[in-house]
Amino acid sequence: MSSADTNRSWYKRNEIAITPWLFLLPAMLFFAVYVIIPIGQSFWISLHEWDGLGDKTWVGTANYERLLGIGDQNIDRKFEVSFWNNLRWLVLYLLAIPAGLFIALFLNQTVTGIRLYKSLFFFPFVISQVVVGLVFSWFYLPNDGLFDVIIGWFGLDIRGGVLGNPNTATYGIIAAGLWPQTAYCMILYLTGLNAVDPEQVEAARLDGAKGRKMLWYVILPQLKPATFIAFVVTIIGALRSFDLISVMTNGGPFGSTRVLSFYMFEESLSEFGFRMGYGAAIAVVLFFIMLGFIVYFLWSMYQDDKGAR
């Protein structure tokens, strides 16, 4: 070690190693306080019975046993319904991606006033989910609602109305959610289409590609980043479908439109709730479902990074 080195201060000597951590520190602090620690607390609360006011009572894994029906009890039916509804949301919500792509391809042309058309198509994403829910619940009203009138022309009638019938209510809400979500995917694809390389399209044309082949082999591969983002936001959107359900059916009729996030809210924070332990157990289950997707997203981004290097 040279004397010049020893004369410099400790920070100066370790500057290169420390500075990145200093920059990371605020973010790490906030991430810990607002994300990591609350997740740990949820785990902890889910092992207790607690009304949010008095003392917590340790019950071990009893909340999970009741939720999943371990031992001599039946699986919690509300949980079962919520879980399957969540799956319906996850699968059907993905329809927003092809629908958004279709509209984006359709709008990706130069006609007079195309900007106006684009903004009109994007409009449903701008208005609040609560408004979307209200508009759709009027649309679905039995007897007077437009939807009921339209299917009436074909001699169809849904008993109790779309949102009043336990067999159709969830699909009705998902359809309402697809409206803004499609617009979101459309915008992602429109920006993606701007980045498509015109030279490749030209070359493909020279080779005689057109129509579906052009789309599948030339355009879509270039839209892969847009598709990935659309997939991520749609999955996240499907898992946080709380507001539409709350506005349109409030979980009903007879709880048939609950999803896990809504059930968690109902158990822990709603008017008749305050069973914090049980609500936390539902939150933990939902967390693990999300974790599956998060790990997949991270892994896939990591692979992309490696490929780019």
Q: Give min distance, CB of 71 to another protein, in A.
A: 13
Contact 180, 97 (CB under 8 A): no
Q: Give min distance, CB of 290 to another protein, in A.
A: 25
Give the nearer residue to another protein in terms of CB position, either 153 or 272.
272
Torsion of CA 95, 99, 101, 102, to 10 degrees: 150
Q: Contacting another protein (CB under 8 A), which of 13, 56, 88, 275?
A: 275
Q: Contacting another protein (CB under 8 A), which of 51, 65, 80, 243?
A: 51
Convert residues 118-157 into a mask of x (bound to another protein by CB under 8 A) and - (unbound).
-----------------------xxx--------------
Cβ-based neighbours of 25, under 8 Å, separated by 6 or more:
none
| Segment contacting another protein by CB under 8 A, of 124-132, 229-237, 268-276, 288-296 | 268-276
User: Residue 116 corresponds to which tokens in the numbers above?
Assistant: 């106006």
Residue 100 lies near another protein (rule: CB under 8 A): no
The phi and psi torsions of 13 (rounded to 5 degrees) equal -65, -35
CA atoms of 245 and 262, how far apart (whole Å) = 8
Q: Which of residues 219-248 bind another protein (CB under 8 A)?
A: none
Contact 46, 280 (CB under 8 A): yes
Contact 192, 107 (CB under 8 A): no
Q: Give min distance, CB of 20 to another protein, in A.
A: 40
Q: How many residues form the binding site for another protein (CB under 8 A)?
A: 28
Residue 69 lies near another protein (rule: CB under 8 A): no
Give the nearer residue to another protein in terms of CB position, either 220 or 253.
253
Cβ-based neighbours of 261, under 8 Å, separated by 6 or more:
239, 240, 241, 242, 286
Q: Which of residues 285-304 bind another protein (CB under 8 A)?
A: none
CA atoms of 294 and 287, how far apart (whole Å) = 10
Give the nearer residue to another protein in terms of CB position, either 9 or 143.
143
Residue 160 lies near another protein (rule: CB under 8 A): yes
DSSP for 9-62, written as a single string:
-HHHHTHHHHHHHHHHHHHHHHHIIIIIHHHHHHHHHTTEE--SSS--EE-TTH
User: Residue 117 corresponds to which tokens in the numbers above?
Assistant: 């058309």
Residue 71 lies near another protein (rule: CB under 8 A): no
Contact 235, 293 (CB under 8 A): yes
Residue 91 lies near another protein (rule: CB under 8 A): no
| Segment contacting another protein by CB under 8 A, of 10-18, 19-27, 203-211, 271-279 | 271-279
| Segment contacting another protein by CB under 8 A, of 10-18, 27-35, 185-193, 272-280 | 272-280
Residues that bind another protein (CB under 8 A): 51-54, 66, 74, 77, 141-143, 160-161, 163-164, 249-250, 252-255, 266, 269-275
